[in-house]
Amino acid sequence: MANTKRPDETGKTGPGDQDEPEFRDDDLERRRRQLEASLATRRPDGSASREGAKSSGVAGYGQALKLSSEFIAGIAVGVGLGWVIDRMAGTSPWGLIIFLLLGFGAGVLNVLRSVGVVADTGPRVPKKGPEDRDIT
């Protein structure tokens, strides 16, 4: 039979850390409550329910489906236009290649606009700041 005592004969299988305090369940529970309280004060609405987590997962899938469909639609429209131009002008395969690349660029631009990285095109109206006020 194997002897459970170590060479220092403490009877423990690990190192002899007898001077270190042991963490108890109540201490860990108190620290967990403090962490939850500090996180609750930092949340914008103060309440995070499991339903909110489930709905954000569904919203994430919806956003992914939207972005992927916009990207694929840009490429499909480019390929379709290129094919039609090749058939009408007899320039096969150059129209298809050029409009495929243009469709890829348009798909990437659509995805970036949906995400909000690139601003929508249109007239830009200068914002009135504190220094631009009318003084009359």
pTM value surpassing 0.85: no
Residue 53: what pLDDT? 58
CA angle 67, 70, 72 (to 5 degrees): 110
Per-residue pLDDT tens digits for 97-131: 999 999 999 999 999 998 888 877 667 666 666 66
Kindly state the average pLDDT of the residues 21-31.
78
Give the Cα separation of 80 and 88 in Å (integer).
12
pLDDT of residue 95 exceeding 50, the answer is: yes
115 contacts 67 by C-beta, under 8 angstroms? yes
Q: Determine phi and psi for 93, rounding to 5 degrees.
A: -100, 15
Structure tokens that stand for 72 in this block: 């694929």
Better pLDDT: 5 or 82? 82
Residue 12: what pLDDT? 57
Position of tokens 């009135």? 128
67 contacts 116 by C-beta, under 8 angstroms? no
Per-residue pLDDT tens digits for 37-47: 888 888 776 45
Q: Of the ranges 73-82, 84-93, 97-106, which one carries the lowest mean pLDDT score?
A: 84-93
Scored b (16 or more CB within 10 A) or e, 88-116 reads eeeeeeebbebbbebbeebbebbbeeeee
| DSSP label at residue 116 | T
